Structure 1
């Protein structure tokens, strides 16, 4: 039986299983989300075969912000610290959802040959992918930005349980953490830097996506740069929640789990 353990490590709320493997998959959530976005993956065959870790990044979910800086570099440092604390002797696979893929890709660069692969789930590739989170640059007040963002998600959530869940998570998020991270992501995304960083990684990469949720500029980037990818249909921006078996099966193939 797969047992999901929940604990706090260095003030970070962490979900983890105890599957016996020499590979640890670290799963990074999207903007102002939390590790619960990956909860259904723990219940797939993947979750019974490979070690999985899903932290709430500082300022989001159940992790307090404290004195965390909140930039991309700060989140990368937090992730690398957790990796050394929890899985110091294991090969590392990185799974990034949405803007979490930016953190994962930068961590992959620093991990070097220890990184077994980088799997992006509708992750940021182009400047257009930072459209919503990047609106933080238009606000001088963090609380005003949080109100704008959460209200927009609420307005779109009438017929979507997943967006209702996301909205509930947003209400827990630290406004300053959202604002700082959103502004940094906007700056980082100039000239489609996220996609170019992903493309340049030395480790294997894979992109999982649905056209319904992906800007045309991002679809063009995938085509123009021939990024290895899997396109699915009928999923939300959170396929880990509404199609966990599809995501899990693709992860198993990519990381050669079995």
Structure 2
């Protein structure tokens, strides 16, 4: 599946538990020799009030607590299975609500309340104002990037504000900033340009993944940071390489609502010993092209 090009391999592990080693996960995620993905998601039984539990691994085998686009994709599957307008998904970041929209493929997720305190990001040292922290890369008198906003939306994010998101080699800068000592749990690194009060352009280096077509939690974090800096309204369109996602940061309860398209690419069978796979059913794009 994918949400705006942010792609996932999904396993239903509610009947038969799935325990893969990091090396196996990385092999499945390899885009040359495996299926290839940004994250691997296992849908498991919930033990804390959810319709199901969602476990997320990056393509390097590391586990993360949240992924907004994955939540929308899993929400689509569970909404269809349950025949409901809303389902609760348990994650390591808490209980998240997924809602159906005007079409089967369009799903909204309540990502909860962002964490804004320096200790909640977390950062390695105290900053009273997390809309702009002291961090730069490059010469002191002419930094390449500097003064990011930081937000936690299930995982840590740093957003650098720029004029042109395509003017930076994020594939080189991303790893340096992701592993900067200021981020004890590493961080997702974004460069963002505010087009107007209702639109943002965004590129993302995702920790444990690399450059990605889209990142839902980064879109949420960037919208929240822009609103806190009074650069945008509370409803904003975030344009990523993979497409556009709508983010609303509600004033009445501080919850973030993320809405966007999802796509089923294909279904298949995977041999867990050899990691060989075969496609058994077409997805949305193939079905649409056939009709």
TM-score where L is the length of structure 1: 0.34
Structure with more relative contact order (C-alpha pairs < 8 Å, separation 6 or more): 1
Greater strand share, structure number: 2
